[in-house]
């Protein structure tokens, strides 16, 4: 990749970490541009006009072009690499897990982590408080489904690490920060250990 790559991000966000972890696996260097989402720095007219009309990070900038959505940014970086299965069915299966992550995993686990650890229970709105029970239930269902899938396999798709593993790892490994008990999911723990043992692995706070 010859063009300069900039990651517009908030370092503690799992969605942003996915993009850095993908880059680390591929030996790609990214310039990091930090925004404080708690101060609304991704909601300024300038950010919305120039970086992401959806007012959110991560956004991967390639020269003058911008890719919002974490999993799309990971896909851009990994296209043509072993992180994406070579066979058509494998690619579709990888995307299935990445879409599932965005619909059934991240909205429960990541949102609860943000609310409980970064916003704080006292500062939540009544509507947010009402949603905690359902998000806890749905988050545990997601972890259980992962655990069952991983009981008989080392990786989500095929027999090596793919973007499905990287994208699901991002918020799973910090699910305890949202008070999820990961000890209930031993196959998930074993899978996370495999990911962290990779010499190319980087931690969320590196």
Ligand X SMILES: N[C@@H](CCC(=O)N[C@@H](CS)C(=O)NCC(=O)O)C(=O)O
Site of interaction with ligand X (CB under 6 A): 10, 13, 15, 37, 42-43, 55-58, 69-71, 102
- What residue is closest to ligand X based on CB? 56
Closer residue to ligand X, CB minimum distance, 146 or 158: 146
Q: Which is nearer to ligand X, 58 or 158 (CB)?
A: 58
User: Minimal distance in Å, beta carbon 137 to ligand X?
Assistant: 21
- Minimum separation from the CB atom of position 86 to ligand X (A): 25
* Nearest residue (CB) to ligand X, 158 versus 163: 163
Beta carbons of 61 and 6 less than 8 angstroms apart: yes
Q: How far is the CB of 150 from ligand X (least distance, A)?
A: 22
- Using the minimum distance from each CB to ligand X, give the nearer residue, 20 or 56: 56
CB of 126 to ligand X, least distance (A): 19
């Amino acid at each position: 990749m010859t063009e300069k790559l900039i990651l517009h991000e908030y370092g503690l966000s799992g969605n942003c970490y996915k993009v850095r972890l993908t880059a680390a696996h591929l030996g790609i260097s990214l310039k990091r541009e930090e925004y404080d989402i708690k101060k609304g720095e991704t909601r300024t007219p300038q950010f919305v006009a120039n970086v992401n009309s959806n007012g959110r990070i991560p956004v991967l900038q390639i020269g003058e072009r911008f890719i919002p959505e974490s999993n799309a940014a990971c896909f851009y970086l990994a296209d043509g690499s072993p992180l994406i299965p070579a066979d058509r069915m494998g690619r579709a299966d990888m995307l299935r897990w990445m879409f599932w992550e965005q619909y059934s995993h991240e909205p429960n686990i990541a949102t609860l982590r943000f609310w409980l650890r970064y916003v704080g229970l006292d500062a939540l709105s009544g509507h947010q408080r009402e949603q905690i029970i359902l998000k806890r239930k749905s988050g545990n269902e997601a972890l259980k489904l992962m655990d069952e899938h991983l009981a008989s396999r080392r990786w989500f798709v095929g027999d090596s690490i793919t973007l499905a593993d990287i994208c699901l790892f991002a918020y799973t490994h910090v699910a305890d920060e949202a008070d999820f008990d990961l000890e209930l999911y031993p196959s998930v723990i074993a899978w996370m250990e495999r990911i962290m043992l990779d010499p190319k692995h980087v931690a969320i706070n590196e």
